[in-house]
Amino acid sequence: MSPALGQIQNEFKTTETVATLTLSIYMVGYAIGPLLFAPLSEVYGRSRIYHTGHIWYTVVSVGCALSPNTGALLVFRFMAGFTGGVPVANAGGTIADMIPRSRHGLMMSIFNAALLLSPTLAPVAGGFLAETKGWRWIFWLMTILSGVTTIVSFILLRETYSPVLLQRKAAQLRRETGNELLHARGNDNVPTKQKVLQALRRPAVLLCTHPLLMLGSVYMGYVYGVTYLLFTSIPLVFRDLYGWSEGRLGLAPLGVGIGSLLALLVTGRYSDRMYVHQQQKSGHEIGIPECRLFFLFPATIALPFGLILYGWTAHFQTHWIVPIIGTAIFGGGMIFAFNSVNTYLVDVFSKYAASALAAVSFIRCISGGALPLCGPRLYERLGYGWGNNLLGFLALFFGAGSLAIWRFGTKLRERYKVDLA
């Protein structure tokens, strides 16, 4: 909906900062939702949580479309983020449930494609839809798509989380045999309330006690925040400096999309190959997760370079293709970083991958909601050149710090073993 922020600002007679808040408040809900839904999926199963999220996202999308004022839109946008975080909360766990480790790289690439390309491709449709039908039709389209997804998921989606499947099987056997001593291995006889409390604290425990999750979360938070800041600045750059129409503005983020897609093809193809090669070389049944982090090296270079190229070429109003190339380089670095860290965490935390990714998602989305609010003031004071220079140098700093995961990951995994019960 970023190309339609101008329409929202004009209709509700509000400021640019408040209009931008409709994007940021979504990210706040997107951050909080997985902290609830991911651990609950490890108690009640993935499918129930998917269904709950799909239904409520459809409902609140209608609320967004019918919002009579800024306050109502902000409330419904928060709820849309809260319920829209369900697939993000569960997807990593579902992959860990179903897919062998040797194929996690490819599957996480597909997941990250959906997660990270959507903010790139959606403005294309959103820009033209807002220009021809008005901004409310963006949410009517989301209602239709979410409604279809809800129906399809009820028909096709099956439970994948093995502890829940075992508990259901044990319950079925108790009913059929009358033997109340039959229980699944693990905590099947633990009261549900205790299970829920244990599950709800799990993301926080992991985030606060496991250095690998801390490092990965901080880096992902910064990259995600800058990504959303970039998405809010792109319409301003190409509208104010290049004079593009609202419909054409939706095409501007495609540079990020093209760079992301090329990087996805590379990481999806070679991440699993490197993992299998290392596994065969070591002779171990399970490979070393740190080999997933190879693409952090190109990410550390591509992210700052892309930001700086975008900023200075926009500042000097070079031909529009050059800042687009800068965003494409940034998009490639973003995918290298996300795919490396997310796949690594799924390998490391496996059974509790959903909770680990929920912790990352919380930090990531808080940053994604906060940094875009700093964008107008940042560019007003420093301009697009020096403003993106600052963002680029910080990306280099955080990228270099994230390489500590690759260097010390094995030792840290052995030293910091968290009780996840």
Q: What is the DSSP string of 184-206?
A: -TTTTTS-HHHHHHHHHHHHHHH
Cα 151 from Cα 361, distance rounded (Å): 27
* Residue 246: pLDDT over 70: no
Which residues have a Cβ under 8 Å from the Cβ of 7 and sit 6 or more positions away? 130, 134, 135, 246
Cα 110 from Cα 106, distance rounded (Å): 6
Q: Which of 13-17, 237-241, 260-264 shows the lowest mean pLDDT across its residues?
A: 13-17
What is the pLDDT at residue 188?
56
Cα 186 from Cα 195, distance rounded (Å): 11
Helix (H) or strand (E) holding 27: helix 16-44
Average pLDDT over residues 51-69: 93
Count of Cβ atoms closer than 10 Å to residue 15 Cβ: 12
* Residue 86: pLDDT over 80: yes
DSSP 204-240: HHHHHH-HHHHHHHHHHHHHHHHHHHHHHHHHHIIII
Cα 19 from Cα 229, distance rounded (Å): 14
* Residue 190: pLDDT over 80: no
- How many angstroms separate the first and last alpha carbons of the chain? 41
Compare 306 and 288 and report the one with higher pLDDT: 306
Q: Output b/e per residue, 244-275; b: 16+ Cβ within 10 A.
A: bebebbbbbbbbbbbbbbebbebbbeebbeeb
Residue whose entry in the numeric block shows the structure tokens 């449930």: 97
What is the pLDDT at residue 390?
95
What is the pLDDT at residue 416?
66
Cα 397 from Cα 29, distance rounded (Å): 28
What is the pLDDT at residue 287?
63
Judge whether 88 and 40 are in contact, CB under 8 Å.
no
Compare 260 and 307 and report the one with higher pLDDT: 307
What is the pLDDT at residue 282?
67
What crossing angle do the helices spanning 16-44 and 211-236 adopt, rounded to 10°?
Answer: 150
Q: CA of 384: how far to CAs of 241, 376, 387, in Å?
A: 11, 10, 5
Query: Across 81-90, 139-148, 174-183, which has the greatest mean pLDDT?
Result: 139-148
Q: Which of 144-158, 179-193, 200-214, 298-312 shows the lowest mean pLDDT across its residues?
A: 179-193
Write the DSSP symbol of residue 12.
H
pLDDT band at residue 20 using 50, 70 and 90 as cut-offs: confident
Which residues have a Cβ under 8 Å from the Cβ of 33 and sit 6 or more positions away? 53, 81, 82, 83, 84, 85, 86, 89
Cα 38 from Cα 184, distance rounded (Å): 22
Mean pLDDT of the chain: 84
What is the pLDDT at residue 285?
61
Q: Look up the pTM and report it.
A: 0.78
Cα 386 from Cα 392, distance rounded (Å): 10
Q: Encoding tokens for residue 247? A: 């419909």
What is the pLDDT at residue 212?
87
* Residue 68: pLDDT over 80: yes
* Residue 304: pLDDT over 90: yes
Average pLDDT over residues 19-41: 83
Regarding the domain delimited by 2-181+194-415, which CATH topology (the fold level of the hierarchy) does it fall under? Growth Hormone; Chain: A; (1.20.1250)
pLDDT in tens, 372-421: 878 888 888 999 999 999 999 999 999 988 888 888 877 777 776 655 54
Closest CA to 288 of 52, 157, 102: 102
Q: CA of 348: how far to CAs of 78, 339, 343, 344, in Å?
A: 31, 14, 9, 6
* Residue 119: pLDDT over 80: no
What is the pLDDT at residue 303?
96
The proportion of the chain whose per-residue pLDDT surpasses 90, expressed as a percent, equals: 26
Cα 354 from Cα 46, distance rounded (Å): 10
Closest CA to 189 of 220, 166, 156, 155: 166
* Residue 50: pLDDT over 60: yes
